[in-house]
Chains A and B, each alone.
Chain A
Amino acid sequence: MSKEHEKGMSLIVKTITRLTVGLILLYGIYIVLHGHVSPGGGFAGGVIIALSFIHLMLAYGKETALRKLSKAAASFFESMGAILFLGIALLGFTGGYFFLNFISKGEPFKLFSAGIIPLCNIAICLKVGAGLFAIFVALVLLKFDSEKR
């Protein structure tokens, strides 16, 4: 056993995690992108994406997960999501008012339809996912004096 295997959980958990974490991430992205045609949307998809990183952190320890998505990157993505959402809203002023659906609607029941709604879904997904991951990282990194002993 090398030193890397000692951190995190046992080998079984790590193997299963390696196989499933990509699928969970893909499922989250699918739910976000299809938010305007089927049930789902930015909130649920964002939480699923955050859960995939949390899954990685629980199984492998915090170093591996923070190498994939560091705390600075999480805070960058959260601010990015907020600015993207506000920017889409402000771009509506080109046609008249705040939150105007300025892109053409397209054909219904297709992936590329509904104007700004998929873009807003992506922005909210970034915001929710990165924000909840940052909260979880902050709570995990908080070590007590009583727990160190």
Chain B
Amino acid sequence: MAVYLLCLVLFSLGLYCILRKRNIIKIIVGVIIAEYAVNLFFILVAYRMKGRSPILSPDAEILNMVDPLPHALVLTAIVIGLATTALLVAIAMRIYEKYGTFDITKIRELRG
């Protein structure tokens, strides 16, 4: 249970960074940290005590494997996370080019 709590603490750090920071790059950092925490939570749920990785071996039969389904979900989610991070970075660079700053409060003042 303590492992889940540490994972939630990591997610809360990402949430704090998203809500509190003013710099766009810091907000992207917060999004990345929250995404890591979610991926970690899925893999933690899938773990089985003294389990083996879900890959069959030719000689021995393996009985207690970990759950392969969350692994498959997380595998796609990681690549999607990279693509969305790249999209966020592209939008942030466009904002820097237009306004000359990464500070969101100054962008709000400079609108129009």
Report A-B touching, CB under 8 Å.
yes
Residue numbers of A with Cβ under 8 A of B are 38-39, 41, 43, 47, 108-109, 128, 131-132, 135-136, 138-139, 142, 144-146
Distance in Å: Cβ of A108 to nearest Cβ of chain B: 8
* B89 at interface, CB cutoff 8 A: yes
B13 close to A (CB within 8 Å): no
Q: Return B72 CB to nearest CB of chain A, in Å.
A: 10
Whether B55 lies near A39 (C-beta < 8 A) is yes
Query: By DSSP majority rule, is chain B's interface helix, strand, loop, or mixed?
Result: helix
B residues engaging A (CB < 8 A)? Answer: 53, 55-56, 58, 75-76, 78-79, 82-83, 86, 89-90, 93, 96-97, 100
Neighbouring B residues of A128 by C-beta, 8 Å: 79
A139 and B96 CA atoms in complex are apart in Å by: 14
Q: Is the CB of B79 within 8 A of A144?
A: no
Q: Evaluate contact between A131 and B75: CB separation under 8 angstroms.
A: no
A38 to B58, CA, bound (A): 12
What residues on B are CB-neighbors of A146 within 8 Å? 97, 100
Q: Which residues of B sit under 8 angstroms from A135, Cβ to Cβ?
A: 83, 86, 90
- Bound-complex Cα distance A39 to B89 (A): 30
Given contacts A139-B89, A139-B93, 10 further A-B contacts (CB under 8 A): A39-B55, A43-B78, A108-B56, A109-B58, A132-B86, A135-B83, A135-B90, A136-B86, A144-B93, A144-B97
User: How far, in angstroms, from A135 to B58 measured CA to CA in the complex?
Assistant: 40
Using Cβ atoms and an 8 Å threshold, which residues of chain B touch A41? 75
